[in-house]
Amino acid sequence: MASDRTDRRAPDLSAPNEGSIESVLQENRLFYPSEEFSRTAHVKNLDNYHNLYVRAKADPAAFWDDLAQQELEWFEPWEQTLVWNPPEAQWFKGGKLNITHNCLDRHLTDERRNKPAIIWEGEPGDSRVLTYAQLHREVCLFANGLKKLGITKGDVVGIYMPMVPEAAIAMLACARIGAPHSVVFGGFSAEALRDRLNDGQAKLVITADGGWRKDAIVELKTQVDQALENNAAPSVENVLVVQRTRQTIPMQPGRDHWWHDLRQTVPPSCPAEPMDSEDPLFILYTSGSTGKPKGVVHTTGGTTSTPTSQRSGFLTYKKTISTGVPPMWVGLPATATSSTGRCPTEPHR
């Protein structure tokens, strides 16, 4: 594409007819990327994008098959790309992989291990940078901490956290050992948290003493205590607490555990559990604003494969930028076809 070109066609702002409403929301200008940007992009121009679209539309299974082979590392190959019995879709049947191996381990063999994987700044102005190697170590420590608290493959873990790196670390740690996680928004009430814990039969809750929102402390641990009081969520056996806001909070002996203490007792190495493509990865609930919250179980293979296409469609720039940060995902989006919509209380396949 030509560099630094701007189509200077302006919206028609001629005087409106009497009685009509004048609008300046119509924007017709086009801004083209520079030649350097296009040259280093995954999708270099509109023709490239159109070709991807045509391929995906013509044979979706073959399109995803190619991407999954090219972009992901699998422990065992799949027998069939797609088994489609509406409304059930099984992607990469028989294949085995682990999302954390693809997010972390495969980036530790070259110079990327020392590049930032997470750049974070908190509301009070504190900040942290974790390289791929450091993030891998933190995830392994957290995974071993979960194991020490009795979490095994298939156990559901509730996550009720502020916006801190440990939220992402907790999700990756769960995925590393094959424990489906259920993230509950930290602004939800104790009742909303309890409903989701009970529906998913969560065995453990990961939370923090509190989080910062609009210069005020949101007391998350207090909400967890209220959700669990009087044995209202009987499946929950332990609560793992990350120290964030450092106010005094009650800790129930035998049930509540500080993460900064537990991490001192576990090793920093944890192999990634081979997961079947159709094994549950996480449960995501609807907001509940129009009725009882509904949990959608996202499976491992389909969810892991989705960012391979979104990297091409949205993360177009592949050159390392001036800060030394490579393209990365903090959250992994999923499409409807990469999920199995079923009640979390059904037996896992």
Mean pLDDT of the 200-210 span:
98
Note whether 109 and 42 are same-domain residues.
no
Q: What is the pLDDT of residue 68?
A: 92
Helix (H) or strand (E) holding 57: helix 46-58
pLDDT in the model for residue 309 = 55
Let me know whether 36 and 146 are in one domain.
no
Q: Are residues 39 and 154 in the same domain?
A: no
Model confidence at 329: pLDDT above 50: no
Q: What percent of the chain has pLDDT over 70?
A: 81
Q: What's the Cα-to-Cα distance from 167 to each of 18, 268, 303, rounded to whole Å?
A: 55, 18, 19
Mean pLDDT throughout 175-179? 98
Average pLDDT estimate for 244-258: 97
CA distance 173 to 99: 10
Q: Which residue did the predictor score with more confidence, 199 or 320?
A: 199
Whether residues 257 and 117 fall in one domain: yes
Do 43 and 189 fall within a single domain?
no
DSSP state of 317: B
- In this structure, the strands spanning 238-242 and 204-208 are parallel
Question: With 60 as the cut, is the pLDDT of residue 345 above it?
Answer: no
Quick one: average pLDDT of 113-138?
A: 96
Domain count, the chain: 2
Position with higher pLDDT, 142 vs 314: 142
pLDDT of 184 strictly over 80:
yes
pLDDT, tens digit, 9 for 90 and up, residues 55-90? 999 999 999 999 899 989 999 999 999 999 998 889
* 340: pLDDT strictly greater than 50: no
Q: Establish if 311 belongs to a structural domain.
A: no
Regarding whether 232 and 132 lie in a shared domain, the answer is: yes
Question: How many CB atoms sit inside 10 A of residue 314's CB?
Answer: 11
In a domain, 67, yes or no: no
On whether residue 54 sits in a domain, the answer given is: no
248 band by pLDDT with thresholds 50, 70 and 90? very high
- Domain containing 41 equals 1-6+29-48
Residues 294 and 146 in one domain: yes
What are the tokens at 271? Answer: 């192999």
Question: Looking at residue 16, what is its pLDDT?
Answer: 53
Q: pTM here?
A: 0.81
37 and 162 in a single domain? The answer is no
What local confidence, expressed as pLDDT, does residue 128 receive? 97
Average pLDDT value for residue range 264-284: 97
Reported for 27-36, long-range contacts at CB under 8 A and 24+ positions apart, including other chains, are 30/6, 31/6, 32/1, 32/2, 32/3, 32/4, 32/5, 32/6, 33/1, 33/3, 34/3, 34/4, 35/1, 35/2, 35/3, 36/3
Asked whether residue 53 is assigned to any structural domain, the reply reads: no
Looking at the predicted structure, is the pLDDT value of residue 226 above 80? Answer: yes
Which pLDDT belongs to residue 335?
29
Whole-angstrom Cα distance, residue 147 to residue 349? 22
Distance CA(23)–CA(11), nearest Å, equals 10
Mean pLDDT (the chain) is 85
pLDDT at 45 (0 to 100)? 87
